[in-house]
Amino acid sequence: MTFHLPFRSQRTCYPLSVTDERRFDQGYDGPVFVWDIDKTYLSTHFSSPKGMMRIPIEFAVDKRAIAGMPQVLRGLRRGPGPAYEGLPLYFVSASPPQLKSVITKKMLLDGVEYDGIIFKDWIRSLAQLRPGRLQEQVGFKLCALLTARQPRPRSVEYLFGDDVEQDALAFYLYARILSGEMPPGRAEIAMKEAGVPRDDRHCVRALLDRLDRPLGSVARIHIHLEAKTPPERFAKFGKLVRPVQGAYQLALALYADHLLPANTVTSIANSMEPSHRTAMETDAVARGLIPNESDIPHSDRI
Q: What whole-number distance in Å separates Cα of residue 200 and Cα of residue 147?
A: 13
Termini Cα distance of the chain: 40
The gap from C-alpha 255 to its chain's centroid, in whole angstroms, comes to 18
Q: Is residue 242 part of a domain?
A: yes
Q: What whole-number distance in Å separates Cα of residue 156 and Cα of residue 159?
A: 10
Q: What is the mean pLDDT of the segment spanning 10-23? A: 81
Q: How many helices (H) and strands (E) are present in the chain, helices listed first?
A: 10, 8
Assign 3 to helix, strand or coil.
strand
* pLDDT at residue number 5: 40
Q: Is residue 295 part of a domain?
A: no
Q: Is residue 115 part of a domain?
A: yes
Q: Is residue 302 part of a domain?
A: no
Q: Is residue 299 part of a domain?
A: no
Q: Is residue 239 part of a domain?
A: yes
Q: What is the mean pLDDT of the segment spanning 45-67? A: 61
Q: What whole-number distance in Å separates Cα of residue 31 and Cα of residue 88?
A: 7
Domains in the chain, number: 1
The gap from C-alpha 268 to its chain's centroid, in whole angstroms, comes to 20
Q: Do residues 88 and 31 touch, judged by C-beta distance below 8 A? A: yes
Contacts of 115 (CB under 8 A, 6+ apart): 20, 21, 22, 88, 89, 90
CATH, residue 267: 3.40.50.1000
Q: Is residue 16 part of a domain?
A: yes
What percent of the chain clears pLDDT 90, i.e. is strictly above it?
79
Confidence of residue 45 (pLDDT cuts 50, 70, 90): low
SS3 breakdown of the chain: % helix, strand, coil, rounded to 5? 50, 15, 35
Per residue in 140-151, pLDDT tens?
Answer: 999 999 999 999
Q: Is residue 136 part of a domain?
A: yes
Please give the residue range of the domain that contains residue 101. 2-289
Asked if pLDDT for residue 49 goes beyond 90, the answer is no
* pLDDT at residue number 43: 87
